[in-house]
Chains A and B, each alone.
Chain A
Amino acid sequence: MNTTVNKSQLSGWGGYRPIECRVAAPASRSALRQMVADRQSHPRLLMRGLGRSYGDSAVEPTGTVLLQNNLNRVRSFDHATGLLRCEAGVTLEDIIHVVLPHGWFLPTTPGTKFVTLGGAIAADVHGKNHHVDGTFGRWVQRLNLLLADGSECECSPLEHPELFWATIGGMGLTGVIVEAELQLRRCPSAYYHVSYRRCRNLDATLEVLAETDNSFTYSVGWIDCLGRGDRLGRSILMLGNDAQAGDLSGELRDHPFHVPPTRRKRVPLYFPNFALNRLSVSAFNYLYYAVHPDREVVVDYDSYFYPLDGIHDWNRIYGRRGFVQYQALFPQATAERGLRRALETLAAFGLASFLAVIKRSGPANPAPLSYLFDGYTLALDIPNVGPRMLEMARQLDDILLAEGGRLYLAKDSLMSPDTFRAMYPRLGQFLSVKRSVDPDNRFTSAQARRVGLLPSS
Chain B
Amino acid sequence: MRQTYLILGATSGIAKAIARALARHGHDLILAGRSAEEVALSAADLEARFQIRARPLEFDATRADHVLGVLAAAMECNDGDLPEGVVLAYGVMFPQSESEANLECLAQTIEVNFGSAARVLQAFGSAFAQRGSGVIVGISSVAGDRGRGSNYHYGASKAALTVFLDGMRHRLRASGVHVCTVLPGFVATPMTYGIVDPASPLCAQPEQVARDVLKAIDRKRGRVYTIWWWRWIMTVIRHLPEAVFLRTNL
Contacts and interface: CB of A to CB of B under 8 A. Distances in A.
A385 B42 CA distance: 47
Given A27-B11, A29-B38, A30-B35, A4 B194 contact: yes
Contacts of B42: 73
Contacts of A73: 41-42, 44-45
Interface in B1-35: 11, 13, 35
A49 B83 CA distance: 37
A216 B41 CA distance: 40
Given A28-B11, A98-B49, A74 B193 contact: no
Contact of A6 (B37, B45, B48, B193): B193
Nearest to A84: B48
A74 B48 contact: yes
Contacts of B41: 29, 73, 75, 87
Most buried by A among B41, B48, B190, B194: B48
A2 B93 CA distance: 11
A84 B207 CA distance: 25
A25 B48 contact: no
Given A73-B42, A76-B48, A98-B49, A27 B190 contact: yes
B236 to A, nearest CB: 28
Contacts, number: 44
Interface in A340-398: none
Contacts of B37: 28-30
A259 interface: no
Interface string B206-225: 00000000000000000000
B118 interface: no
A198 to B, nearest CB: 42
B160 interface: no
B174 to A, nearest CB: 41
A70 interface: yes
B45 A75 contact: yes
A311 interface: no
Interface residues of A, number: 18
A4 B11 CA distance: 17
Contacts of B44: 73-76
Nearest to A74: B48
A25 B190 CA distance: 7
A74 B37 CA distance: 14
B48 A98 contact: yes
Contacts of A139: none
A24 B37 CA distance: 21
A2 B190 contact: yes
Interface string A6-18: 1000000000000
B191 interface: yes
Given A29-B37, A73-B41, A73-B42, A2 B49 contact: no
Interface string B25-66: 000000000010110011011001100000000000000000
B17 to A, nearest CB: 12
A28 B191 CA distance: 12
A170 B44 CA distance: 29
B193 A25 contact: yes
Most buried by B among A4, A73, A87: A73
Nearest to B95: A4
A87 B45 CA distance: 10
Nearest to B189: A27
B193 A2 contact: yes
Contacts of B191: 2
A77 interface: yes
A5 interface: yes
Nearest to A73: B45
A347 to B, nearest CB: 39
Interface in A235-294: none
Interface in A78-111: 87, 98
B186 to A, nearest CB: 15
A237 to B, nearest CB: 37
B49 A4 contact: no
A437 B37 CA distance: 26
Contacts of A76: 44, 48
Given A73-B44, A76-B44, A76-B48, A6 B194 contact: yes
Contacts of A28: 11, 35, 37-38
Contacts of A29: 37-38, 41
Q: Which 8 A-B pairs rank lowest in CB-CB distance, beginning with the nearest? A: A27-B190, A73-B45, A6-B194, A74-B48, A4-B194, A77-B48, A74-B45, A73-B41
Given A27-B13, A29-B37, A74-B44, 7 more contacts: A2-B191, A6-B194, A25-B190, A28-B35, A73-B45, A76-B44, A87-B41
Interface of A: 2, 4-6, 24-25, 27-30, 70, 73-77, 87, 98
18 contacts: A2-B191, A6-B193, A24-B193, A25-B190, A27-B11, A27-B13, A27-B190, A28-B11, A28-B35, A28-B38, A29-B38, A70-B190, A73-B42, A74-B45, A74-B48, A75-B45, A76-B48, A87-B41
